[in-house]
Structure 1
């Protein structure tokens, strides 16, 4: 029972049969899947509830794929909106009613978001048939306008569900129908259990051809129809922040085998795309992605909502990735042991108060006093802290290698080491990649080589900065071995792993030499002692390998550059400057990038590259349009245009 609306989620007697009849049969999904012209099919639903419609659709899609192994639909996307998500316990109890859906509901329960924040949670299920669920949390009227829509539309079929119009009139509004029209592909189907006249008239007014059909069971009528309206013209923001896709059947070259390049390769081969990965070193993860222990936690800033939203979803997605790899028997050394962000001075205390006052779920973060922090950490601490219960650390180099192994297992990935890119030329139908002693041609290229991208003429003006970082490796001892949480302050300290701890890291902008410096080791130790003057950190000893240096690639707003490579010569030229309000934003076609992850790539790059992979394949994007604009490679110039400021 949904107390918000005084209505039921489903009938225990015939809920599954009703879902199949109203949504699967009346949308004619089996027939539409067999005749579909694209490799992916998108269903959107206006009320997730218990997930019954999703699970029934998943089951039917599996049966369809088994009966028609050559079906043109290779990937099914299910987008669902829910204002009042069920708790995991309530969801588990509700789904017990449908034993035949058990193989699917067990997976839903396992991947159901542990931290239920607003926005889109992408859940990827690989077995037995791949299917993608985008679960949008929040009011449907807030979230529908945030879906990025390609020029040809996004949605192939609609499940217009939710509680009855008489119980939930706010949802069944003209704004809902207008957004459905905006998102619909030509001839998109729609089915709904209601036969209310204002629903039929509202949908007809925005371009749907609706008619009554036979209702389920004792219900006499329902509504079915198709979208017959015209695709909507691109608005100004869509042109400025455009996101183009690759052409179907084309291949992709990826430059750089760090966490971004390898994660993108993994996301693309899972979609059936042939990928060639080029790395200038002799192995993967030898640069910034190669640390022994990388901290995994979200960057929260209540005054910068896009930053917080991006990292919340990236953090959740990282947990899901670890679970996916585990199911493939590909273990990565990690501990989601929790993390304490220490309020060691007045400035950090002020930041922490803002986070606490923002009202984030306690499962994500909550405040603890010094005594509680000490008990959680297993060591004496003198500061209050923010506790991230589900954060922790991961063996970064092993994580990259494990993702790479999973991608290689598909047979769609080729890896080429000791290939340093020195030049690049984009032609009408391919990209020419010039390496030292080699030349390769590919349909498309994605640049993931961090600050090395600045060496290319076409990318030299991108707002990227190399940042030297030195991590120190410290021998464990009886006192330090008690540490149970990752500690963050001016630097960070990890729990023991293979009898060592990591302390880091220096942050020296525009320095790129890779020699270990004694001074930076001393600075790392001094930062820990300054922020936490405790007996346990006064006599620490460096390990045999005293540390590691790598060069991060940072952007000043702490968000990556994710999308198409801007054509900055044209962007800054007079022709575009005089016509930017009506012209498409100038980009290098067939050329994409995922760079600028700073010191948080191990947490954020897998989600970011899932976003880019969805863009490249023309699929739904699992992030609000307003937040996507905050990771767009042209965002700094676009903001100047919109504010009428000089571009230089």
Structure 2
């Protein structure tokens, strides 16, 4: 895996010649502008130019922007003002001007030096686990995925979910993450599944369903008047695009999609270097002779797997496993509803997002909802949630609701989503919780106390979880970030994002906010 760094845009033909047959090339371009034009004569150069033209659609002047490149690499564009910090933060990245003294980080929000990858076990086969397995396997790393049920059966089990970025008009961390992730997930989807085979290339309209949303959508359009990623549309335009009566205008995301998460998860896990063990529960994780030993149980037997690296992607069950057992993750019950259109009813042509969402039909079923119940863990389909979803739909799309066949019993999917206190995913390497709570105990008395002791790491342990209802957007890029940290490759995330998503923020917060922390092994 070779890393190529350029301080101005390379010419596509020259880059193609330089890369040759390198299918795992990591291309880093340090610049603040996209080139005015991209021309190429060779077929390989034309392919690169075309890829960059496609990528430009999703670039919104982000500090760090990544896009899949070749068979297993990626193209990363980095703004010059953040490049030195990015180099300093990420192990194995070397800058030409190493003036690093100005970059001082909280030790628990750093990254460990990569250790040799001998074998990898991923726990959980939802979209986060599948994306992480795929990010490693396409780089030649054999991966074993353990799933206690069947693939994409929990929070990734909806009939259809939406791929678009519901962003703020301000440069929040959430907005940066969603924009950074959106294009990456979109091209991954296109590369893994033909349109119509598990997903609908239909676009998404986020409607101006109240004054706050209208103001947000209007401000976004004003700030990005030349954006091809999203455009403001009137009620009339929304009705033309959707093909049905729509009560409002909104923000049109033409590259938005409605995805069957099972289909995408299945496609990602079909890589020949990925082995999947379903109906297999990981009961224990322990350290044995410089390797991790995972105690597993299926219907036939108990057995152990050894691994140099583990990635916990178990969603709402993630904090039941050592070494993150007892971490403060939140569980949120959600239920979606499916229904079919009446014979002869107008067909909805795009997905709509308002105070809830609805998709066009896939396999003759539309999907709409969803409910949110914090701290509820029952994943049975509920009549109350079914009723709520129908009532919500009748309120904002009464004509469409009237054209759906009613269900005689709840139809759809219920699952427990995983969330963190700040509604950001939990992504990255894991420290030794018990050691951190002792080593950084002074933070209980003064959260600004200047502790300098290096973080005690759990060697080779990573987490990719707590994506809430946004996993289709955020999980694939977060998986790429984990692969980059594990293998010493360029990170697709800015330092701001890497620290904001860092798993160690959870145990440290228990110190700074005087919260009890129940450790278990």
- Cα distance change, pair 84–148 in 1 and its aligned pair in 2 (3 A): closer
1:115 correspondence with 2:58: yes
The CA distance in 2 between the partners of 1:256 and 1:640, in whole Å, is 26
For residue 150 of structure 1, report the CA deviation from its aligned partner: 6.0
Larger Rg: 1
Structure 1 partner of 2:187: 320
The 8 Å contact of residues 150 and 618 in structure 1, kept in 2 or not, is answered as: no
Aligned length: 503
Structure 2 partner of 1:105: 46
Secondary structure of 1:572's counterpart equals: helix
The 8 Å contact of residues 245 and 617 in structure 1, kept in 2 or not, is answered as: no
The CA distance in 1 between the partners of 2:323 and 2:140, in whole Å, is 29
Structure 1 partner of 2:446: none
For residue 515 of structure 1, report the CA deviation from its aligned partner: 1.6
Structure 2 partner of 1:623: 493
Match of 1:419 among 257, 269, 280: 280
- Structure 1 segments, 4+ long, off by >6 Å, are none
Secondary structure of 1:180's counterpart equals: coil
The CA distance in 2 between the partners of 1:600 and 1:330, in whole Å, is 21
The 8 Å contact of residues 207 and 248 in structure 2, kept in 1 or not, is answered as: yes
1:83 correspondence with 2:32: yes
Match of 2:19 among 36, 58, 81: 58
For residue 356 of structure 1, report the CA deviation from its aligned partner: 3.4
For residue 362 of structure 1, report the CA deviation from its aligned partner: 2.7
For residue 233 of structure 1, report the CA deviation from its aligned partner: 7.0
For residue 265 of structure 1, report the CA deviation from its aligned partner: 0.7
Aligned pairs for 1:202-601 (under 5 A) are 235-237=103-105, 239-244=107-112, 246-281=114-149, 283-326=150-193, 332-359=197-224, 362-405=227-270, 407=271, 409=272, 412-427=273-288, 429-436=290-297, 437-456=302-321, 458-477=323-342, 481-532=346-397, 534-538=398-402, 540-542=404-406, 546-573=411-438, 577=442, 581-601=451-471
The 8 Å contact of residues 344 and 383 in structure 1, kept in 2 or not, is answered as: yes
For residue 277 of structure 1, report the CA deviation from its aligned partner: 0.9
TM-score by length of 2: 0.88
The CA distance in 1 between the partners of 2:441 and 2:97, in whole Å, is 31
Q: Any gaps of 5 or more consecutive residues in structure 1?
A: 1-39, 66-73, 156-178, 183-205, 207-231
The CA distance in 1 between the partners of 2:92 and 2:488, in whole Å, is 10
- Cα distance change, pair 477–151 in 1 and its aligned pair in 2 (3 A): closer
Structure 2 partner of 1:21: none
The CA distance in 1 between the partners of 2:275 and 2:361, in whole Å, is 36
Give RMSD over aligned pairs. 2.8
Match of 2:9 among 48, 52, 55: 48
- Cα distance change, pair 462–234 in 1 and its aligned pair in 2 (3 A): farther
TM-score by length of 1: 0.72
1:134 correspondence with 2:1: no
For residue 466 of structure 1, report the CA deviation from its aligned partner: 1.4
The CA distance in 2 between the partners of 1:151 and 1:601, in whole Å, is 24
Q: Any gaps of 5 or more consecutive residues in structure 2?
A: 444-448, 517-521
For residue 115 of structure 1, report the CA deviation from its aligned partner: 2.3
The CA distance in 1 between the partners of 2:140 and 2:116, in whole Å, is 10
Secondary structure of 1:434's counterpart equals: strand
1:144 correspondence with 2:83: yes
